[in-house]
């Protein structure tokens, strides 16, 4: 009787194992391939643990495609070599429009075809090319590109990458299918990994590409499993059996349906115009993409044309990589100066032999602080890598290994502020050294005014850093209040100004006289009070007097405010000088009441994403409105997004929102929502 009972239980457990495996694989597909998860991570973990426990009870029921089989194999002594069935090619590069035109001419001449050709355009990921082999739908082997003919067997390691399916979904795939693509480390995972390494005093990775390469080439797959790697496929290699479509774009769609992740920015385009506009659009999005890229790739879409074009040496004639300007270059540090910031923070700045990087010539780069200088062991005279990505200030990344000459000099923190001569203090446990001069220090005063005028603060159009410096230097302004008492003729007399510019500046200053409370708080430049904290303060207290009167305990009840920020706020408002400036400032400006009061959190629980150019407000203003109404504003569209607020020239976020069925609204729609409820 007991035997029958246990047999019955075994059958039930067996069915449950199959079900759990299918469920987990489906949720992986939704998460990694469609980027549209249906369950939270905690629920996935619960199902995973249940499967693990059942498999422990019935090891004979474990299959090769079980999600539990991704981790835990034994370390290898060495990687074995694998000869690729078909060599893995590389791509030729172009760096300019002229070179791209030459590529187009070569193709059209060879094909004797004058009409516009269709291309598949794809971001060029900065990762590691790999080949994955599926036999009858089951993942059996992964290899690195190596020299193109032979690579290393990294099957165990690739198995640990959750984005790589262990079994293909659906049907209709060829009996043998070799998929090629890029293993990469998403930026967020890379930052997390380096943050943890720093906290533990371990070595950090230089960039996501190196981190991905270092992680994939581990003999112990348990180390790889702990690294946040991902994968996008971009082509096929060897194929046996029927089933593949006849264009590059439709093959990628097929691969996606079979469970392989494809980069969402892939697009079918036409002719050189289409290529250039894709290049521009991806370059604009580059910093916001969750992964590093170094250019885009255009591939002739029709396979029949690809076959006709063939190959040269190790690259196809039918594809080209259009590279972005390099973001890292090498140059020498000639000297180091120390700059004083708004809060007195002293930043070492490397003066460089000028170098063209990220599309501009760079002569200065930040060294961040003395701890960073020590960690990177940078010295004056060293040859260093400079990185300039997007709008970020160029930075010294590292010394070029093996390049140090004997005559280098160590970088020393000065004892006194280079601007006002006050003592420099370095508080134990803090990386940043500070000038103790406060507002005696002209540098701190100047930086405070620059911050006040900046776009996210009072947004005084035309009052750039150089002009602030000029006016401080000329003794026209000492505090931010002086901006509102400027004399037109005095401004017009400044170098490079004139009557019209001076009038425009006065108009812009006057336009800033009606800030929201949040903007004004942010503009005051209190240490550690960024835009979000300023908004929380404005929302919680509603007026400046209440904020100034709040004690440390009360401040800490507010979102984003911990003991350190609370201390900075108290300290700021305790300074008699700041009191005086605020009192004078309040005579010049008129704080606007928030459109939505803090009692009407009508959008609480709703998540918005904002994209494109809005007509009546900036994206920051829209975000402020939404947050004031209790909504969450996120940077990327997912299944959890409730609304996409889309303006002119909305790009991939709009496409994605439509794909996921997210409601898309314009500014009128936003106003209607804010007035509802």
347-359 b/e with 16+ CB inside 10 Å = b? Answer: bbbbebeebebbe
Give the alpha-carbon dihedral of 183, 189, 191, 194, to 10 degrees.
Answer: -80
Structure letter (DSSP) for residue 104: H
> Quick check: is 57 catalytic?
no
Q: How far is the CB of 221 from ligand 5U1 (least distance, A)?
A: 25
* Least distance (Å) between residue 292 CB and ligand 5U1: 13
Choose the stretch contacting ligand 5U1; rule: CB under 6 A; options: 83-91, 342-350, 490-498, 642-650.
83-91
How many angstroms separate the CA atoms of 281 and 652, rounded?
9
Q: Is 367 in the site for ligand 5U1 (CB under 6 A)?
A: no
Task: Kindly indicate which of the ranges 89-97, 183-191, 342-350, 434-442 contains the residues binding ligand 5U1, using the contact rule CB under 6 A.
Answer: 89-97
Place of tokens 């890029």: 182
Q: Toward ligand 5U1, which CB reaches closer, 124 or 388?
A: 124
Q: In 239-354, where does DSSP find H-type helix?
A: 248-257, 271-285, 303-309
Interaction of residue 297 with ligand 5U1, rule CB under 6 A: yes
**CA 498 from centroid of its chain's CA atoms:** 41
Is 79 a binding residue for ligand 5U1 by CB under 6 A? The answer is no
| CB closer to ligand 5U1 out of 91 and 673 | 91
Which residue in 186, 316, 348, 394 binds ligand 5U1 (CB under 6 A)?
Answer: 316
Region from 56-64, 88-96, 357-365, 661-669 binding ligand 5U1, contact rule CB under 6 A? 88-96
Task: Name which of 233, 259, 255, 234 is nearest 243 in CA terms.
Answer: 255
Among 24, 51, 82, 89, binds ligand 5U1 (CB under 6 A): 89
Choices 109-117, 121-129, 325-333, 586-594 (CB under 6 A): range interacting with ligand 5U1:
121-129
**Binding window for ligand 5U1 (CB under 6 A); candidates: 122-130, 370-378, 604-612, 631-639:** 122-130
Residues in region 127-146 near ligand 5U1 by CB under 6 A: 129
Give the nearest distance from C-beta 290 to ligand 5U1 in angstroms. 16
Residue closer to ligand 5U1, measured from CB, 124 or 623: 124
Between residues 89 and 529, which has the closer beta carbon with respect to ligand 5U1? 89
Sign of torsion over alpha carbons 177, 181, 187, 193: positive
Query: Which of the stretches 87-95, 221-229, 538-546, 590-598 binds ligand 5U1 when contact is defined by CB under 6 A?
Result: 87-95
Q: Interacting stretch for ligand 5U1, rule CB under 6 A, among 74-82, 86-94, 190-198, 664-672? A: 86-94
Phi, psi of 15 (to 5 degrees): -65, -40
Q: Which residue from 25, 44, 122, 624 is in contact with ligand 5U1, where contact means CB under 6 A? A: 122
Q: Which of residues 159-218 bind ligand 5U1 (CB under 6 A)?
A: none
Q: How far is the CB of 89 from ligand 5U1 (least distance, A)?
A: 4
Among 79, 234, 338, 385, the residue binding ligand 5U1 under the rule CB under 6 A is 234
Question: If binding is defined by CB under 6 A, does position 239 make contact with ligand 5U1?
Answer: no
Sheet strand arrangement including 267-270: 93-94, 319-323, 293-300, 118-125, 267-270
Q: Which of 70, 124, 323, 653 binds ligand 5U1 (CB under 6 A)?
A: 124
Q: Contact between 94 and ligand 5U1 (CB under 6 A)?
A: no
d(CA 163, CA 35): 11
Q: What are phi and psi of 454, to 5 degrees?
A: -65, 165
State yes or no: residue 90 binds ligand 5U1 (CB under 6 A): yes
Nearer to ligand 5U1, 36 or 90 (CB): 90
For ligand 5U1, give the closer residue by CB, 139 or 318. 318
Strands 128-135 and 138-144: antiparallel
Q: How far apart are CA 153 and CA 165, in angstroms?
A: 17
| CA-to-CA dists, residue 594 to 237, 354, 479, 505, 615, angstroms | 59, 47, 27, 26, 20
Q: In angstroms, what is the minimal distance from the CB of 311 to ligand 5U1?
A: 9
Half-sphere exposure in the Cβ direction for 657 (13 Å, CA):
24
Cα atoms in the Cβ-side hemisphere of radius 13 Å centred on 37? 11
What are the percentages of helix, strand and coil residues in the chain, rounded to 5?
A: 40, 20, 40
**Which residue, 222 or 268, is less far from ligand 5U1 as judged by CB?**
268
Closest separation between CB of residue 249 and ligand 5U1, Å? 12
Nearest by Cα to 597 from 550, 622, 555, 630: 630
Sign of the four-CA dihedral 617, 621, 625, 627: positive
Binding ligand 5U1 (rule: CB under 6 A), the pick from 23, 66, 155, 235 is 235
Active-site residue, selected from the candidate residues 19, 124, 200, 580: 124
3-class secondary-structure state, position 69: helix
- Cα angle value 96/100/102 (rounded, 5°): 120
Check binding of 91 to ligand 5U1 (CB under 6 A).
Answer: yes
51 binds ligand 5U1 (CB under 6 A): no
Query: Is residue 319 close enough to count as binding ligand 5U1 by CB under 6 A?
Result: yes
> What is the nearest approach in angstroms of ligand 5U1 to the Cβ of residue 181?
8
Nearer to ligand 5U1, 82 or 603 (CB): 82
Q: How far is CA 357 from CA 282, 329, 388, 395, 396, in A?
A: 18, 6, 6, 11, 12
Minimum CB distance to ligand 5U1, residue 130 (Å): 11
Write the DSSP assignment of 108-140 as a string of letters. Answer: HHHHT--SPPEEEEEEEESSEEEEEEEETTEEE
Active site residues: 124
Residues of the shown chain interacting with ligand 5U1 in the complex, contacts defined by CB under 6 A: 89-91, 122, 124, 129, 234-235, 297, 316, 319
């Amino acid at each position: 009787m007991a035997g029958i009972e246990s047999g019955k239980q075994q059958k039930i457990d067996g069915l449950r194992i199959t079900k759990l495996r299918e469920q987990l694989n489906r949720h992986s597909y939704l998460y990694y391939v469609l980027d549209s998860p249906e369950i939270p991570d905690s629920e996935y973990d619960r199902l995973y643990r249940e499967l693990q426990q059942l498999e422990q009870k019935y090891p004979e029921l474990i299959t090769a495609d079980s999600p539990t089989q991704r981790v835990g194999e034994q370390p290898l002594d060495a990687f074995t070599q694998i000869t690729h069935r078909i060599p893995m090619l590389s791509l030729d590069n172009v760096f300019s429009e002229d070179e791209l035109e030459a590529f187009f001419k070569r193709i059209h001449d060879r094909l004797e075809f004058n009409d516009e050709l269709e291309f598949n355009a794809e971001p060029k990921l900065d990762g590691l090319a790999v080949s994955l082999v599926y036999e009858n739908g089951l993942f059996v082997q992964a290899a690195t590109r190596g020299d193109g003919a032979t690579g290393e067997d990294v099957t165990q390691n690739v198995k640990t990458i959750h984005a790589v399916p262990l079994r293909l979904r659906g049907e209709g795939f060829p009996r043998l299918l070799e998929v090629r693509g890029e293993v990469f480390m998403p930026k967020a995972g890379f930052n997390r990994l380096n943050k943890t390494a720093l906290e533990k005093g371990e070595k950090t990775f230089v960039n996501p590409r190196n981190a991905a390469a270092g992680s994939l080439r581990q003999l112990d797959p348990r180390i790889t499993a702990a690294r946040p790697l991902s994968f996008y496929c971009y082509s096929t290699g060897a194929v046996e059996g029927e089933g593949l479509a006849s264009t590059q774009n439709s093959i990628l769609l097929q691969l996606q349906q079979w469970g392989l992740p494809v980069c969402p920015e892939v697009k079918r385009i036409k002719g050189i115009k289409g290529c250039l506009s894709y290049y521009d659009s991806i370059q604009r999005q580059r910093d916001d993409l969750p992964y590093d890229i170094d250019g885009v790739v255009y591939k002739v879409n029709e396979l029949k044309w690809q076959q006709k074009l063939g190959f040269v040496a190790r690259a196809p004639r039918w594809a080209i990589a259009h590279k972005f300007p390099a973001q890292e270059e090498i140059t020498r540090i000639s000297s180091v100066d120390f700059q004083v910031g708004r809060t007195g923070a002293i930043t070492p700045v490397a003066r460089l032999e000028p170098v063209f990087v990220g599309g501009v010539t760079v002569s200065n780069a930040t060294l961040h602080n003395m701890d960073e200088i020590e960690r990177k062991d940078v010295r004056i005279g060293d040859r260093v890598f400079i990185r300039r990505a997007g709008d970020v200030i160029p930075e010294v990344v590292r010394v070029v290994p093996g390049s140090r000459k004997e005559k280098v000099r160590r970088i020393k923190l000065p004892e006194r502020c280079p601007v006002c001569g006050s003592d420099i203090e370095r508080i134990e446990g803090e990386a940043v050294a500070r000038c103790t001069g406060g507002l005696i220090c002209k540098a701190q005063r100047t930086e405070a005014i620059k911050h006040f005028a900046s776009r996210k603060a009072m947004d005084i159009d035309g009052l750039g850093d150089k002009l602030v410096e000029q006016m401080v230097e000329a003794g026209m302004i000492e505090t931010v209040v002086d901006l509102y008492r400027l004399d037109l003729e005095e401004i017009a007399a400044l170098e490079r100004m004139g009557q019209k510019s001076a009038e425009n500046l006065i108009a812009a200053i006057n336009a800033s006289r009606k800030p929201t409370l949040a903007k004004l708080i942010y503009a005051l430049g209190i240490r550690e009070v960024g835009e979000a904290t300023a908004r929380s303060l404005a929302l919680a207290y509603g007026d400046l007097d209440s904020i100034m009167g709040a004690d440390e305990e009360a401040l800490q009840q507010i979102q984003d405010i911990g003991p350190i920020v609370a201390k900075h706020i108290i300290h700021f408002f305790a300074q008699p000088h700041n009191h005086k400036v605020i009192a004078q400032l309040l005579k010049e400006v008129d704080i606007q009441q928030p459109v939505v009061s803090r009692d009407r959190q009508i959008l609480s629980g709703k998540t918005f994403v904002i994209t494109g150019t809005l007509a009546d407000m900036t994206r920051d203003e829209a975000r402020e409105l939404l947050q004031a109404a209790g909504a969450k504003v996120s940077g990327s569209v997912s299944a959890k997004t409730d609304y996409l607020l889309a303006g002119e020239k909305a790009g991939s976020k709009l496409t994605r929102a439509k794909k996921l069925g997210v409601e898309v609204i314009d500014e009128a729609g936003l106003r209607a929502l804010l007035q509802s409820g």
